[in-house]
Amino acid sequence: MQVIVVGCGRVGSELAYGLYKRGHKVVVVDQDPDAFRNLPSDFRGRTLAGDVLSQELLVRAGIERADALAAVTPDDAVNAVVAHVAKETYEVPIVVVRDYDPRKRSLHEAFGHQVVSPSVWGAQRIEELLSGSALHTVFSAGNGEVEIYEFSVPAAWEGKRLREAVSDPPARVIALTRAGRASIPDPDSKILAGDVVNVAATQAGIEQLQEAVRQAEEG
Buried b / exposed e along 179-201 (16+ C-beta atoms within 10 A): eeeeeebeeebebeeebebbbbb
CA distance 215 to 55: 58
Write the pLDDT tens digit of every residue in 163-197: 888 876 678 899 999 988 999 999 899 999 889 89
Closest residue by Cα to residue 7 from 80, 104, 65:
80
pLDDT more than 90, % of the chain? 53
128: pLDDT confidence band, cut at 50, 70 and 90? low
Q: What is the mean pLDDT of residues 100-127?
A: 77
Q: Which domain holds residue 45?
A: 2-119
Q: pTM, whole model, 2 decimals?
A: 0.66
CA distance 29 to 50: 7
Domain boundary among 87, 119, 151: 119
How confident is the model at residue 34, as a pLDDT?
96
- Contacts of 35-39 with CB under 8 Å at 24 or more apart are 35/7, 35/8, 35/9, 36/8, 38/8, 38/9, 38/10, 38/12, 38/13, 39/8, 39/13
How confident is the model at residue 109, as a pLDDT?
76
Q: Are residues 81 and 142 in the same domain?
A: no
The answer to whether the beta carbons of residues 45 and 16 sit under 8 Å apart is yes
Domain boundary among 119, 149, 184: 119
How confident is the model at residue 147, as a pLDDT?
85
Domain count across the chain:
2
Q: Are residues 115 and 166 in the same domain?
A: no
